[in-house]
Structure 1
C-alpha cells in the first residue's frame, strides 16, 4: 500500500482531511472526477472577476474556531449577503424584514407588522403544520408565502410545497428590524481572490489526481491505501444495494455581458414559478468589483438522475429512512470514512463542512497540538 489515506473528492471536506493528515505525517492521495480541485466551492478568474462556478458561496459562521481555521488560507472581505427577491415587477428585501413588510402592507412599526402576520396566521386556522406550505403560512401568513416562498421553493425542490417536509422552511429567517443582512452569524465574508486558492494551499505537497473516477477502478484505488475517505454519494459507494437516494441537481448558464453592472446586487432571487431559474448571481459584487464587464449566472434547479451532479440531498422522511440503512453499513466499516454532503447525506453549509471535517480529524488523529 503506497498511501495511508485515499481521499475521494477534492472538495472542502476531503481537502481539510488531507491537509490535517499531511501535517501529521501521513501520506495521502486525493482523487477527483472533475478536472479541477475545490469541488463546488471552485472559483475561476474570468475577465478579472472571480466566478463562483457552482453557485453563490458566501462564507458565514458564528464558530470562532472555524473562522480562524479558514482564515489561515485566505483573507476575507467584508461582504454581507443581502439578497433581493423579484416577484413579477416588484422587488423585496430578503430575509423577510421590516423593509419587506413595509413594501407588502405599508406597515412601519414592528408591532404593525406582527399584527398583520398574526391576523393572517389566525385566518389560516393552521394549528399543527403538516407540510412546508402550512409551516410557511403558520410562520409568516399567506401574502409572504404566496409571493416570496411558494414559487421559489417549488422550483428549488421540484415538488409542490404541500408535498415537502415542513422543516425546510425553518432555514428562512424572519426579522422585525430594518436589517437586510441575511445571516445573523458573527463572521461573514468572501475570500479575496476566490475560494480555489484555499484548496490549493490545503493540498500543497499532497499527491492529487484529477479526471479520475473512483468507480472506474474502485478496487484498485482501495488497494492503494490503508484507509479511504469518501465524499461522494454513499448509496453509489454501496452500488445502490438498498435503492437510490434522491438528490436535487442544478444547471448553470453563465454569460459575460458588455456592461459594468447588470442587477446591482450579488444575488437576485426570482420567485415566480413561471420563471424557470431560481436566481441570478452577478459575481463581481461579491468582491465589490469595478471591472468594465460583468458576468452573470442563472441557476436552474433540476431533477437528479444517475450521471448528473448531485447538489442537495432530499432529506424527507422516505429518504432519511433509506439513508439510515446505508449508514448502518458505513458504521461497520473499519477502513472507510464517509464525509461531506453526499457521504453523510445531509445539507451542509461551508462552515458545517469544516466543523464536520475537523471533528473527523480529531476522531482519527486526536486533538491538535497547535
Structure 2
C-alpha cells in the first residue's frame, strides 16, 4: 500500500497499524481499560517484581499477550481486567454484542497532501524534466479528524466477529486541499486452544485525493502462537494475504514477532515480502524493529523501518526506492501522544531522493461510547 499509518486511539482502543501493509487482524487493538491501566501503573509507580512482565504486556498493543501474561502472573487487583479481556476474546459465554464509536482529532505534517509527484524535476537519459506545478506534491500542516465505529459479536466459544468502519479526513489551510479515507472491514478472531489463534480479515478502502482516487482491498489470514520463555512472553504470527489496488492484485506474506521482557520492555519485529504492483510504487520488502518502554515516567515507542519500493517507471526507467524511517513517540498524559522522526529516501531516479523530518500529535479521544 502506498499510504502509511501511525498509532492512534479510536473507538476506545489503542491501534497500532503496520506501515504500508495490512496484516489482516494484525491491526491489533488494545482496549481502553488496558491502555488506561498501563498509564496508572506508570504514573502511580506501582511496585512490580523484577521478573514480572505484565506491566509491559499491557503496553504491548496485544490484548492476547496482555491476557496471557496477566493470567500467568495473576497480579493483585487484575481480576476485573482479566474478565474484560476474556470477554473480548469470546471466552465468556453469552456476552451481548458491543458497539462503540469515537471521534478523534489530530495534527500532522503531511508531505504529500494531494498524492502528487514527490520531485521538482527528474533527469532521464541525460535530459531534465520539470514537474508541472499542478501535479507536484504539496506539503504542510494538516488538522485531522477521524470517526470510527466498531461492532463486536461473540458467535461461539473463543470466536468473535468484528465489523468496523472509519472515515478520516485532513485539510490544508495553506493549499486549500482535502484528503479523505474511508475504510470498512470484517474480521473473525478465533481461539484454537493451547494459546493458538486463527484470524481472518477482509477490508476495503477508498482514498480520495486532489489528483485522484484509489480503491484498495485485502483479504488476510493470520496464525498466531503465544508462549513463555523463562520470565519473557512472546507472540509469533504468520499472515499470508492478497492485496488489490484499483485493478491490480498481488500476494503478500507477513511475519511478526513480539517479545515482552521484564527488564527491557516490548521488542517487536515485522517483516513483509511480496511482488511489486506493476505501474504503482508499492512495498516489495519491509523490515520494522520497535521498542516500547517506560522512559522518564511515560510510555515511549521507538521504531526503525526499512522499506523497498518498486513497480513504477518513467520513460522506461524503473524507479526503485530504499526508504529508512526512524520514529519516536511519547505518551502525554491519557489524552495525547506526540511523535517525531526522520525519513530518508534514496531512489534510482535522483529526483526522488529526499530527506525529511516527521512531526505530529494525536489526541486520544474519549473512552468507548456505547
Per residue, is there more helix in 1 or in 2?
1
TM interval, short-chain normalised: under 0.3
Per residue, is there more strand in 1 or in 2?
2
Give the structure, 1 or 2, with the largest relative contact order (CA under 8 Å, sep 6 or more): 1
